Amino acid sequence: MFASALRSRWTALAAILAGLMVSGGVVWEASYSAFSATTTSPTSNWSSGTVALSDDDSNTALFTASNLKPGSTGTKCIAVTSTGSLPSTVKLYGTGAATTNALSTYVNLTITQGTGGTFAGGCAGFTPLGTGSSVYSGTLAGFASTATGFASGLGTWAPTGSGSETRVFQLSYTLDPAVPNSAQAGTAALGFTWEAQNS
Amino acid sequence: MPVDDGVPRTLLRLAARAALACLGSMVVWAILPLALGWQPTVVMTGSMRPSIQPGDVVVTRGVPAAALRVHQVVLVPDPDHAGRLRLHRLDRIGTGGRLVLRGDANQSADSSTVRADDVRGVGVLRVPLVGSPAQAVRTGDWRRAAALVAGLLLLVGLAYGGTPGDPGDRSSGPPRSAGGTRRRQLVLRRTAIVAVLTPVLTVAVTPGFASFGVSAANAGSRFTAATSFYPYRDAVLADTPVLYWRLGEASGTAAANTATTGPAGTYYSSPTLGQSSALTSEVVNKSISTTASGAVTASTAVIPSTQFTIEAWVKTTSAAGGRVFGFGSGSTTTTSTTVDRQLYLSPTGKAVAGLRNVTLVKTVATSPLSYNDGHWHYLATTYDGTTLRLYVDGTQVATTTTTAATPFSGYWRAGLENLSSWPTPPSGTTYAGGLDELAVYATALTATRIAAHYTAATS
């Protein structure tokens, strides 16, 4: 009896109706939880992996160079590590650029990517990539105006997301030996940001 | 047919039909809003987790820019990837009215802002999971896409399948003898469902990327230029020298005079040019070396003043001594017949300042210490009309009182000179070592200025 009741057309219709109602409920619930106007600022859930990027600078600026004279140089290395689980691309760009006496147009900047070297330990052991090691070569002002965000950022690094990958960036500056006296006492400020976005 | 076999199968069939109905209507939920001009979007990535999962279809509705509210989920053209759409939550409205977005699962807000006018729509419906096949296809995950389609086929099979002639499909279905026709109907129905659902699920909706973005920032690099790029040069020029040879040339035979007056110099006997500077404060400055050979002589003759200051930087390990810088009658590669106003090193490396008095007696002030140690040293001698002083490295080290002979016309020269008639003379006529920053003044500089010159070399 039970078996034949189950086989009735009404039962089948009821099953379909139940399915429709469930779908409506699911969509409503899903929409409400995602878009409700009362949704508060969501809590961060970034432990779930995805894209992760860190560096070894311990929140210390790469360069704090003072009393620069024509020909003054400096070199620093910074190791950037991707631990994300998604394939991503990493771009380097400048933030917070500022200058006085046009000094940034006379600071030549070279950025090279490779392996070896750390922020704290210096560039001993730094080896540029065999090909495509040059990330930037030009003035500080040029860098700041060219690479302003992820879309215009520099670099070709594309972590696969299959494990931790570290790339070391060597940054070198030289105050142009031909810098005019008008740049004396000038200043230039810049932040360097590496940003990873899933590709 | 035993009941205990038919009931589970029938229950399964009903459950499958319910699931299929649920799935089908969810697809309708995802697609139907197109009729209203709303845009369904398959979520491709997980940066809006946990509220929106990859594989969800999110339906957005266009709203005027003024109607945007913080915490709404918005669909915008990806500012960082041309041709992509980005589905993120409106975090705040930033400077210039630009929208700052953020993925719920991102540590921080997106670095790139977007214009309010660029917002394609605001999320209104989320249809879970129905975009999974589309997501799989678009990400090239063919194995998963095939599995999902196979799952769909299985579900359809369970709901409308059954062995031909199975009476259990419908209680009031056609009799067993019509099984062939029913089978064709079933196949048609199955095919129709799969044919409609599959493309809808895989391609009909545009993908939206909930981009993961994370930054490693190094802020606050700061470069500050010196208040003076050439502090030593400026210190020298401040005292108005009558000759200032910086010896910074990289090639050629001309030694430029940086003072506004006085003779230029000429390199001869091939000193080695372009050596690293005596001045740590001026990185690009250069020096010369006469270790192998070489001297620098004035191109024109002058009559020096009675009062004077002579200064030079030397670096030598010579045990022969040598004339560093001074005045003489000779202008060429030969030594002079008459010399006066000398800075030289004795064979033991002591610094000597020399001046002839009115009776042409050679008077000297000699340092107590030796300086032929291979390091740069700053030698200076001043004569104010009564006292001849010798300074080494900015400090007075010897002094003597003397008159001065009447000046004669001659040439300033560094290196090469015959001082054999002077006290503790060099053993030869050459100076072998580094030379830099030669200067002559028509006044006796004060000890303060001499010290200032030395300080400016290292600041």
Kindly report which listed range (A25-29, A171-175, B197-201) carries the lowest average pLDDT score. Answer: B197-201
Q: Which residue has the tokens 């199975």?
A: B166
Which tens digits make up the pLDDT trace of B147-200? Answer: 888 888 888 888 776 544 444 444 444 444 455 676 677 667 767 766 666 656
Domain C-terminal end among B227, B256, B290: B227
**B220 and B363 fall within a common domain:** no
Q: Which of A24-33, B104-113, B116-125 has the highest mean pLDDT?
A: B116-125
What gap in Å lies between CA A196 and CA A90, rounded to an integer?
Answer: 4
CA Rg value for chain B? 47
B218–A62 C-beta distance less than 8 A: yes
**pLDDT for position B152:** 81
B140 and B218 both lie in a single domain: yes
Domain end call among B227, B245, B277? B227
**pLDDT class of B10 with cuts at 50, 70, 90:** confident
Q: Concatenated DSSP letters for B207-253? A: EEB---EEEEEEEEEEEEE-S-SSHHHHHHHTT--SEEE----SSSS
Report DSSP state, residue A46.
Answer: G
Q: Are B367 and B220 in a shared domain?
A: no
B229 and A191 in contact by Cβ < 8 A?
Answer: no
Query: What one-letter code names the amino acid at A110?
Result: T
Q: What percent of chain B has pLDDT over 70?
A: 88
A60: pLDDT strictly greater than 60: yes
Predicted TM-score (pTM) of this structure: 0.72
Over 60: is that where the pLDDT of A40 sits? no
pLDDT score at A36:
55
Which residue spans within B304-385 are E strands per DSSP? 308-315, 322-328, 339-345, 350-356, 362-370, 377-383
| CB contact at 8 A, B250 and B273 | yes
Answer yes or no: do B280 and B163 share one domain.
Answer: no
A109-137 mean pLDDT? 94
- The tokens describing B333, both together, are 């590669």
CB contacts, 8 Å: B189 with chain A: none
Same domain, B58 and B168: yes
pLDDT beyond 90 at B387: yes
Chosen for mutation from A47, A69, A154 (greatest number of chain B CBs closer than 10 Å) is: A69
Q: Are B292 and B307 in contact (CB under 8 A)?
A: no
Q: B126 and A16 in contact by Cβ < 8 A?
A: no
Residues B258 and B341 grouped into a single domain? yes
The answer to whether B207 and B135 have CB atoms below 8 angstroms apart is: yes
Please spell the DSSP secondary structure of B166-205, one letter per residue.
Answer: -TTS-TT---GGGHHHHHHHHHHHHHHHHHHHHHHHHTSS
pLDDT the model gives residue B32: 80
Q: Is the pLDDT of residue A44 over 50?
A: no
B7, B65: one domain: yes
Q: Are residues B262 and B218 in the same domain?
A: no
Q: Do A34 and B52 touch (CB under 8 A)?
A: yes
Give dist(CA B410, CA B407) in Å, integer: 9
Q: Indicate if the pLDDT at residue A35 is higher than 70.
A: no
Indicate if B235 and B218 belong to the same structural domain: no
B206 vs B39 pLDDT, higher one: B39
Query: Which has more confidence, A28 or B251?
Result: B251
Question: Are B163 and B251 in the same domain?
Answer: no
| β-pair partners for B298 | B265
Does the distance separating the beta carbons of A103 and B29 come in below 8 Å?
no
Q: Does the pLDDT value for residue A16 go beyond 90?
A: no
Count of structural domains within chain B: 2
pLDDT score recorded for residue A43: 44
Looking at the structure, tell me whether residues B297 and B185 fall in a common domain: no
Q: Is B280 exposed, middle or buried (0-12, 13-18, 19+ CB in 10 A)?
A: middle
The alpha carbon of residue A75 is apart from the nearest alpha carbon of chain B, in Å, by 13
Q: Is A10 on the interface with B (CB under 8 A)?
A: no
Q: Distance, in angstroms, between A65 CA and closest chain B CA?
A: 5
- Chain A hits for B217, CB-CB cut-off 8 Å, are 95, 191-194
The beta-carbon neighbor of B225 closest among A12, A22, A183 is A183
Which chain B residues contact residue A31 at CB under 8 A? Answer: 123-126
The pLDDT value given to residue B165: 44
Which runs of consecutive H residues, i.e. helices, occur in chain A?
2-6, 9-35, 140-146
CATH code for position B299: 2.60.120.200
String of DSSP letters for A176-189: -TT--GGGTT-EEE
| pLDDT(A116) > 80 | yes
Q: Please tell me the predicted confidence (pLDDT) of residue B196.
A: 65
Give the range of the structural domain holding residue B112, as residue numbers without chain letter.
1-227
Are B398 and B365 in contact by the 8 Å Cβ rule? The answer is yes
Q: How confident is the model at residue B61 (pLDDT cuts 50, 70, 90)?
A: confident
pLDDT tens-digit map of B281-333: 988 899 999 998 999 999 999 999 999 999 999 999 999 999 999 999 988 77
Same domain, B264 and B306: yes
More confident residue, A173 or B132: A173
CATH of the domain at B204: 2.10.109.10
Q: Inter-chain contact B224–A173, Cβ cutoff 8 Å?
A: no
Residue A80: pLDDT band with limits 50, 70, 90: very high
Domain boundary residue, one of B201, B227, B253: B227
Please determine, for the modelled complex, whether the ipTM score is greater than 0.85: no
Per-residue pLDDT tens over the stretch B73-88 = 888 888 888 878 888 8
Give the number of beta-carbon pairs within 8 Å between A and B: 274
Segment 89-108 of chain A within 8 Å of chain B by CB: 95-96, 101, 103-104, 107
pLDDT reading at B258 higher than 80: yes
> How many Å lie between the alpha carbon of A137 and the closest alpha carbon of chain B?
17
Q: Is the CB of A110 inside 8 Å of chain B's CB atoms?
A: no
Q: How much is the average pLDDT of A187-192?
A: 93
